Amino acid sequence: MVREIMDVRLLARVGSKALIREINEALVLDVVRRSGTTSRAEITSVTGLSPATVTGISSQLVGDGLLIESDVLRGTGGRPARLIELGRDAVIAAGVRLSPDAVEVALVDLRGDVLATRTRPLAATDPASAADAVVEIVTVVAAEHPASVLRGISIALSGIVDRQRGVVRHSGALGWQDVPFGKMVEERSAGRVVIDSLVNSFTAGLVLLDADLAERDVIVISVGASLGASMLVRGRIHRGFGGSAGGFAHSALGERTDGRPCHCGGSGCLETWSSVWGMQGELERRGIAPDPGADAARGVWEEGGAQLGIAIANAAKMFGPERVVLVLSPEVRATAFEKSCRTALISEYAYGDGTAPGLVTISADSEVFARGAGYDMITELFTADRAAAG
Ligand SMILES: [Zn+2]
């Protein structure tokens, strides 16, 4: 919080009035979010803003439905003060998971509650058809909540995404290269549009819901059809140049020569070992039924886990995370994969070094990513530096 207040003071000298107001609103909302229920006096004390500023901003936010007044707090003297808490569904966000065969939407409110979910098959994966499909399903679901203001659409998809420019730089799953998808959706809808990788959207949701992650260094790895990674630095997602952070799926652990062929055109990529696509392809090549529970398949899942464990150890030595979160899609044979991943991480990390970071495994269905995307947009309301970035 201290750092955020410093940011505000810095910007106060250079920023416009509207910008400062937006930042102060984010500060106030964030204090209320963290407290659950609080008073204006408490907000004044935590933020360092003047009582007049806090009164002005909170009245505006109550008017907009972003805050609601609840019980009356009776002090030992003076006028009784009203307690305030976050509003519910006055403002909502649409989180979308876009995959090659479906569009999945989750409407979320300010508190992170899911108001509705809907899935539709995607008829065609070309960018224009996908943009049409996203706007169509969001419009239908949002229309069922006419009293709520839709803040915008946040879209999560598999690939390397330049969030700031709204460009999908590469998506193997969708077959896209340098597609300005953010702009395409924006042209078809009214509100704000954000696009990001599946794993970054998921991580944004984690941070919103788990206060414990607020100041931590964590690597989040998602294992689904493709591999993805998100780097959490002091509780904020580090996206790297042009959104390239976390794009480790097509790196190789050893010689590429004679490696398994990859959908990127190369061979020997980590993707061919540890993604669901890679492991299922290997099962096929070996003539093993792709049933994740089959005993004959176990070796492939174990190899995939072990290769990923080594890759995580390499990344962890470079980045120094306190924790690694492994997000496994339901297609992964979790027990075999996770066990060998953990074993490889621990032994590889210990090679001339200290103790490996803790590995936490989360099993995630596809709706989790749509929800995460929705939370991602809601998070903007609480984050002063994002407001500053516009
Ligand atoms: Zn590759």
Per-domain residue ranges for the chain? 2-86, 91-206+369-389, 212-365
Residue 387: what pLDDT?
44
| Fold of the 212-365 domain | Nucleotidyltransferase; domain 5 (3.30.420)
More confident: 25 or 254:
25
Ligand 1 geometric centre to CA of 83 (Å): 54
Which pair of tokens denotes residue 220?
């989040």
Res. 7 pLDDT band, cuts 50 70 90 = low
The closest of 26, 143, 19, 6 to 86, measured between CA atoms, is 26
Percentage above 70 pLDDT, the chain: 91
Class of domain 2-86: mainly alpha
Ligand 1 geometric centre to CA of 233 (Å): 26
91-206+369-389: CATH number? 3.30.420.40
Ligand 1 geometric centre to CA of 274 (Å): 11
Ligand 1 geometric centre to CA of 262 (Å): 5
Q: Do the Cβ atoms of 313 and 348 come closer than 8 Å?
A: yes
Ligand 1 geometric centre to CA of 54 (Å): 52
Ligand 1 geometric centre to CA of 328 (Å): 20
Ligand 1 geometric centre to CA of 272 (Å): 7
Which residues have beta carbons under 5 A from ligand 1 (an ion)?
A: 250, 262, 264, 266, 269, 271
Q: Do the Cβ atoms of 75 and 132 come closer than 8 Å?
A: no
Ligand 1 geometric centre to CA of 181 (Å): 23
Ligand 1 geometric centre to CA of 41 (Å): 55
Name the 3-class secondary structure at 290.
coil
Ligand 1 geometric centre to CA of 234 (Å): 30
Ligand 1 geometric centre to CA of 249 (Å): 7
Residue 205: what pLDDT?
87
- Taking only the tens place, the pLDDT of each residue in 120-165 is 999 999 999 999 999 999 999 999 999 999 999 999 999 999 999 9
User: In one letter, which amino acid is 243?
Assistant: G
Res. 265 pLDDT band, cuts 50 70 90 = confident
Per-residue buried b or exposed e for 118-139, using 16+ beta carbons within 10 Å of the residue's own CB: bbeebeebebeebbbbbbebbe
Ligand 1 geometric centre to CA of 358 (Å): 28
Q: What integer is the mean pLDDT of 23-50?
A: 90
Measured between alpha carbons, how far is 246 from 324 in angstroms, rounded to an integer? 13
Res. 290 pLDDT band, cuts 50 70 90 = low
The DSSP code for 224 is: S
Residue 109: what pLDDT?
94
Ligand 1 geometric centre to CA of 173 (Å): 12
Strands 91-98 and 102-109: antiparallel
Ligand 1 geometric centre to CA of 331 (Å): 20
Same fold, 2-86 and 91-206+369-389: no
